[in-house]
């Protein structure tokens, strides 16, 4: 599946660039680039910058992700979960391209769209998809919940990522429900944001608690790797 994910990522980059090129002449000189929690436009940018920034960032980010496996130190190789790694790259790329698509829509379409809800929905779906594979991520320096305690102990890493996987999926589901149109902004937007931040930050605190718990009980050595032994 790795090759499929890589090809799909490259196609997403090409599609984002193609969309900008096709719609470029239809864009006004200044297009919306930022919205507040109420869904109101509060920032504009030149079309030259807004049309090509995200496709350029996508291309650069993909090159970086392609280089990271080679840069990985021994015993922390990305290659140990290569398919999952490239799935995560694909999900991130799709989320960025989706954001770019919404920006282009706001620039050229006469049909109004609730950008704030749409952006948050895309972010929540990204979190949910990443959560679905988070438990498969092995210890590394680039992807996952990278705290001193998860990197120091394999058991802490594994249990923290199992928790993160559940939290990401739950946050995505509950957050998407909170974004239904009957719940007004900014309440629904704040709810979704709080869920995302909780799912992202709570596992870091959990990793510290679990590490200290194992340390006190003398079980910490059970999760050491060959590097530590």
Token reading at 68: 């990271």
Indicate whether 13 and 69 sit together in one domain: yes
DSSP state string for 106-148: HHH-SS---HHHHHHHHHHHHHHHHHHHGGGPPS-SSSS---H
pLDDT digits over 113-154, tens only?
788 889 899 999 999 999 999 999 999 999 999 999 999 999
* Of the candidates 171, 27, 150, the residue with the CA atom closest to the CA atom of residue 100: 27
pLDDT digits over 24-66, tens only?
999 888 888 777 766 677 778 888 888 898 999 999 999 999 9
Indicate whether 87 and 146 sit together in one domain: no
pLDDT digits over 62-87, tens only?
999 999 999 999 889 998 899 999 99
| Number of residues in the chain | 229
pLDDT in the model for residue 161: 97
Longest alpha-carbon distance in the chain? 66
Q: Is the whole model's pTM more than 0.85, yes or no?
A: yes
Q: What residue numbers bound the domain in which 64 lies?
A: 1-113
Rg (CA), the chain: 20
Average pLDDT over the chain, rounded to an integer: 89
HSE-up of residue 23 (Cα within 13 Å, Cβ side)? 24
187 vs 206, more confident: 206
Number of neighbours of residue 202 by Cβ within 10 angstroms: 16
Q: What are the contacts of 110-114 at 24+ separation with CB within 8 A?
A: 114/39, 114/181, 114/185
H or E stretch including 193?
helix 187-217
Q: C-alpha 213: how far from its chain's center?
A: 30
Domain boundary among 97, 113, 129: 113
227: pLDDT confidence band, cut at 50, 70 and 90?
Answer: very low
Domain boundary among 64, 90, 113: 113
Q: Are 228 and 219 in contact (CB under 8 A)?
A: no
Indicate whether 84 and 122 sit together in one domain: no
pLDDT digits over 199-223, tens only?
999 999 999 999 999 999 998 875 5
Mapped onto helix, strand or coil, the DSSP state of residue 77 is coil
- Whether the pLDDT of residue 225 is over 60: the answer is no
Indicate whether 48 and 141 sit together in one domain: no
As for how many domains the chain has, the answer is 2
């Amino acid at each position: 599946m790795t090759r499929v994910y890589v090809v799909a990522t490259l196609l997403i980059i090409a599609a984002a660039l193609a969309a900008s090129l096709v719609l470029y002449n239809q864009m006004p000189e200044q297009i919306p680039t930022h919205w507040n929690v109420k869904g109101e436009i509060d920032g504009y940018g030149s079309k030259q910058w807004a049309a090509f920034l995200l496709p350029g960032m996508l291309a650069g980010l993909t090159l970086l992700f392609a280089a990271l496996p080679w840069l990985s130190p021994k015993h922390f190789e990305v290659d140990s979960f290569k398919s999952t790694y490239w799935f995560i790259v694909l999900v991130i790329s799709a989320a960025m391209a989706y954001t770019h698509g919404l920006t282009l829509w706001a620039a050229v379409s006469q049909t109004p769209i609730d950008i704030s809800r749409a952006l948050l929905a895309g972010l929540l779906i990204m979190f949910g998809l990443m959560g679905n594979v988070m438990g498969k991520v092995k210890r590394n320096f680039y992807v996952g919940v990278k705290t001193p305690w998860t990197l120091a102990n394999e058991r802490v890493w594994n249990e923290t990522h199992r928790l993160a996987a559940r939290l990401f999926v739950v946050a995505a589901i509950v957050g998407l429900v909170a974004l239904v149109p009957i719940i007004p902004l900014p309440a629904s937007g704040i709810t979704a944001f709080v869920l995302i931040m909780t799912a992202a930050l709570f596992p870091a605190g959990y990793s510290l608690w679990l590490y200290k718990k194992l340390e006190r009980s003398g079980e910490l050595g059970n999760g050491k790797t060959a590097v530590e032994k």
